Structures are given as structure tokens and as C-alpha cells.
Chains A and B, each alone.
Chain A
Amino acid sequence: MNRAWIPALGLVVLALFPDVVHACAVCFDARDENRQAFLATTAFLSLLPLGMVAGAGLWVRKRSRQIDADIGAKTDAGSDSEASADP
């Protein structure tokens, strides 16, 4: 039986409890505002590049499909006009 999920689950659990494992030695402060600021900026800096890449990828995909549709419409129009020109 494949038990590769066990260490993965362990990592997820550790990620959920950074205070318990002291994952970041400098990310601790007694003030709640400071800890929240560390967590918020970590999430912000982690998700921002992923969001930008995903957004760019989706936009390129949409644009590519749009171009394909335009080319298909032009090709269809061309073949239709050739067919109608045949006696």
C-alpha cells in the first residue's frame, strides 16, 4: 500500500500550526497584530506570483481560442465562397 500521503499529511499539519513547530524563528511576536501581519504578508507574497501567472495563462488561453475561432470563421467563409463559385 502506498503510504506516501503520510509525510504529505504531516507537512500540511505542520503548515497549519507554525506556532507549535516554530517553523519561522523570526516570525514570532507576542503582539497579535504583528503575527497577523507576518501571516498576511506571507500569504500575500506566496499567492501574488501564482495569481499573476495563472491570470496570464488564462488570458493567453482565451486569446488563443479567440484567434482559432477567427481563423476557423475565415476558412469556412473562404471554402463557402469557393463552393458557391463552382458551377
Chain B
Amino acid sequence: MVPESPLYEMEPRPEPVPRPKIVADGVMGMLIFVFAEIMMFAGLISAHTVVRSQVAGEMWPPYGQPRLPVQETAVNTAALLVSGIVLVFAYLAFKKEASRARVPMLIALVLGLFFVGSQGMEWVALLGEGLTIQSSTYGGFFYLIVGAHGLHAIAAILVLGWAWFELHRGRLTAGQLATVSVFWYFVVLLWPVLYLRVYL
């Protein structure tokens, strides 16, 4: 029998405070994916830079190739940047009250659709002017780099649309919105770099 002595009287341990995750699983997965995508675009930009430097007399775009619509694309760029800012407000609104994020998310979605739609119209016009993926390295790089970004923009629109529907049903979590936002910010912040390298 264990004797009752003060030695065995132990103070109850305090309840351990649950430690929250440093970063949500979805956000971490998306960050790793975005890092890989950044390296892919870095490779494309590097190849573009080297090929451009090989053109004699700095004749870029090459002779006989149509000029890219710099000013029209500047408007698209502004629309995409605004969509990123609006999505920041959507996230802040979501943290206060989930339903308040509905309108800013929809605005970001519409701006993203405007960007992709305008880029599509631009492509149709450039194809009509004779700039194809096989017409020159200029055309090849243009369609490869801008097209790769366009695919990412379409994917970002799809996932943001999914997030909006989930919010509409009241099932969207903060982690899911943060994950979608990381991908959207990647698409938004990458574009000005591509615009400066490819269009100007």
C-alpha cells in the first residue's frame, strides 16, 4: 500500500495550450507549387533574354514581325493588379465576416475574366497580322510565355470561382481562401514581370 505522504501529492499539470499550425496545409502545398512554377517562368524569361541578346543590332521585334499592343495590354495589366488588391480586401473582409467577402471576390473574378478575355482578343488580332508560334523566335517566345501565363490565369479564375461558390454555400474556410489567394497573387504579380520583359 502506498503511504499517504506529501511526496505523492502532485500539483495538477496545466492543460497544454494547443499550438496552431505555422501555415495551413493547403497554403504550404500551394507555396511549393508556386515556387516550382516561378522557376519554370524564370527559365523561360532567361531563355528569352539570351535569345533576344543574340539578335544583331538589337532589332527586336525582328524585321517584318508585328509590334505587340503595349498600351492595350497596359490596361489589362492594371485590371489584373486591381484584382489582386481587391482579393486582399476580400480576405480581410472574410476574417471579419465571411459573407462580406462575396462582393470583392466577385469583382476580382470579373477583373480576371476581363484580363483573359482581352488577352484572347489580342491573340486573335496578332494571329491575323501574321504573328504565329512558328513565324519567328519572337512569336514563339511570345505565345509560349504569355500562353503559359494565360493558362495559369484561367486556372486561377476556375479555383477562385470554385471558392466563390463554396462561400455562397457557406462552406469556404479561411485556409481554402488563403490557398486560392496565394495562387491568384502569383498570377497577378508574375504578369508585370512578363509584360516588362516580353512587351517592352
Q: Which A residues are closer than 8 A to B by beta carbons?
A: 29, 31, 33-34, 36-38, 40-41, 44-45, 48-49, 52, 56, 60, 63-64, 67, 71, 74-75, 78-79
Contacts and interface: CB of A to CB of B under 8 A. Distances in A.
Interface centre among A31, A36, A41, A49 (most CB of B within 10 A): A41
Given A41-B50, A71-B19, 19 more contacts: A33-B58, A34-B50, A34-B54, A36-B53, A37-B50, A37-B52, A41-B46, A44-B42, A45-B42, A45-B43, A45-B46, A48-B42, A52-B35, A52-B38, A60-B22, A63-B23, A67-B19, A75-B17, A79-B14
Interface SS, B side? helix
A7 B15 CA distance: 57
Closest 8 interchain pairs by CB? A37-B53, A41-B46, A34-B53, A33-B53, A37-B50, A71-B17, A63-B22, A37-B49
Contacts of A64: 22
A36 B14 CA distance: 63
A67 B17 CA distance: 11
Nearest to B21: A67
A3 B195 CA distance: 51
Interface residues of B, number: 19
Interface in B23-73: 23, 31, 35, 38-39, 42-43, 46, 49-50, 52-54, 58
Contacts, number: 48
Interface SS, A side? helix
A45 B19 CA distance: 37
B20 interface: yes
Contacts of B35: 49, 52, 56
B185 to A, nearest CB: 14
Contacts of B58: 33
B186 to A, nearest CB: 12
9 contacts: A31-B53, A37-B49, A41-B46, A44-B42, A44-B46, A48-B42, A75-B14, A75-B17, A79-B14
Contact of B23 (A60, A74, A75): A60
A31 B22 CA distance: 50
A56 B31 contact: yes
B49 A41 contact: yes
Interface centre among B14, B22, B53 (most CB of A within 10 A): B53
B54 A29 contact: yes
Nearest to A34: B53
